[in-house]
Amino acid sequence: MNPTRQLHDLGQSLWLDNITRTLLDDGTLARYIAEYSITGLTSNPSIFDAAIGGGDAYDAAIHGKTLAGLAGEALFTELALEDLRRAADLFRPVFDATDQVDGWVSMEISPLLAADTAGSVAAARQIHEQARRANLFVKIPGTPQGVAAIEQAIFLGIPINVTLLFSCAQYQAAAEAYLRGIERRLAAGLDPRVGSVASLFISRWDVAGNAQLPADLHHKLGIAVALQTYRAYRELLASSRWLKLAAAGARPQRLLWASTGTKDPAAPDTLYVSALAAPDTIDTIPEKTLHAFADHGRLQGVMPADGGDAEAVLSQIAGAGVDVQVLAAKLQQDGALSFVKSWQQLLQRIAQKSSASALAGAPSTAAR
C-alpha cells in the first residue's frame, strides 16, 4: 500500500504545502488527490511569490487585472483566490463527504497585520466574503495580537487556520481563542460549527536548535515539541469543557503539523512525516517531501497520546543550554518577519509584472 494511503487510513489528513497555477492547469493536483490521498492544501506569501516569479503562468491574468484597474494587494488577492477557488472545488467532494472536517484550502491575510487585531479581523472578513467558498480557511498568525483576532473571527463565523505556532503554550493560547469564540457563538444563539485548524511549525526548531546542541540531540527538538503539543491536544479533546461544546454541535479545532520538510540534507528526507503520524491531525507536506514519502516513506508507529518521551528530551535540551520558551518566541517573531519580507517581494514582483504588462499593451509612438 502506498505510504501516503497508510497515513490517510490512520486518520491523518495530508495537505499539500503548495499551490501554483501550473499544478492546477496540468492536472498535477488532481493526480495528487487520486494517487497520494491529498485532501487539502495551504498557501502563504512565500509560496505565491515563488509561483508568480517562477515563470509566465500568471502574466496574462496580471495583465487583465491591471487593465481592469487592480493593483497591489487587491490584484494579488484576486489572483490568489482564482487559484484557491479552483483548488477548493477539487477538494469539495472530500469536504462534503467528511461533513466539513477535511477538504480545505487556506489563504493568508497580509503579514503586515500581524500586530493589528482589528485590521486582521477586517482582512479575514474580506477574504472570507471574496473567496465565496465554504471550504476556505483564512490564515491568521497566532501572535499575541493575533489570538484576539482569532477569537473574534471565529465568533463572526469565519473559518480560521491559526498559523505560526511554535510551542505547546502558543498552541494552547490559540485553542483557548477558538473555544472562547465558539462559546460566545453559543451564548449568542449562533451555530457553533465553525472550522479551524492550529498549525504548529516543526522543522524550524531543529534548524535553530541543532547549532546549539550536541549531535545526539540533533533533529529531536521539533519532534519533542510536537509530542508535547499532541498530548495537550488530546487532553483538550477529552476535557469537560470541550465535550460540552461538542455536544452542542461544535467541531474540534484540528492540530496541523506545518514545516514538515527536512531542511538538513544529513537527515532522512521523510523524518518528520514518519515521526508525526497521528490520527485526527493534519500534515501539510511540501511536494518534494510528498514524493519522497510516497517512494520510500515508512510509518514508525503512531504518536503516543501521552507525549511519550517529550518531557525527558526537552529536559535534556534545556540542560544543553537551549531555552525552549525563549526560542519559541524568537521563532514566531522571525517567522512573522520572514512572511513580511516575502509579502513585500511578492507585491514588488506583481508591480513589476503589471508595469511590463502595461508597457506591452500600450500603443507604440508609430502607431499613434
Indicate which residues carry an active-site annotation: 139
Terminal alpha carbon distance of the chain: 66
Cα–Cα dist 251/253, whole Å: 7
Grid cell for residue 358? 502595461
Q: Are 256 and 282 in contact (CB under 8 A)?
A: yes
Torsion of CA 240, 242, 246, 250, to 10 degrees: 160
**CA 335, CA 342: separation in Å to the nearest integer?**
11
Q: Which set of grid coordinates corresponds to residue 283?
A: 500534515
| Element spanning 337, H or E | helix 324-361
How many whole angstroms separate alpha carbon 90 and alpha carbon 125?
23
Distance CA 282, CA 14 (A): 6
- Rounded to whole angstroms, how far apart are CA atoms 118 and 148? 9
Cα(303)–Cα(298) distance, rounded to whole angstroms? 14
The span from the CA of 85 to the CA of 1, in Å, is 31
345, 59, 61, 77: CA torsion to nearest 10:
-10
What span, in angstroms and rounded, lies between the C-alpha atoms of 330 and 166? 9
In a 13 Å sphere around the CA of 238, the CA atoms on its Cβ side amount to 8
- Closest by CA to 348, choosing from 42, 36, 32, 48, is 48
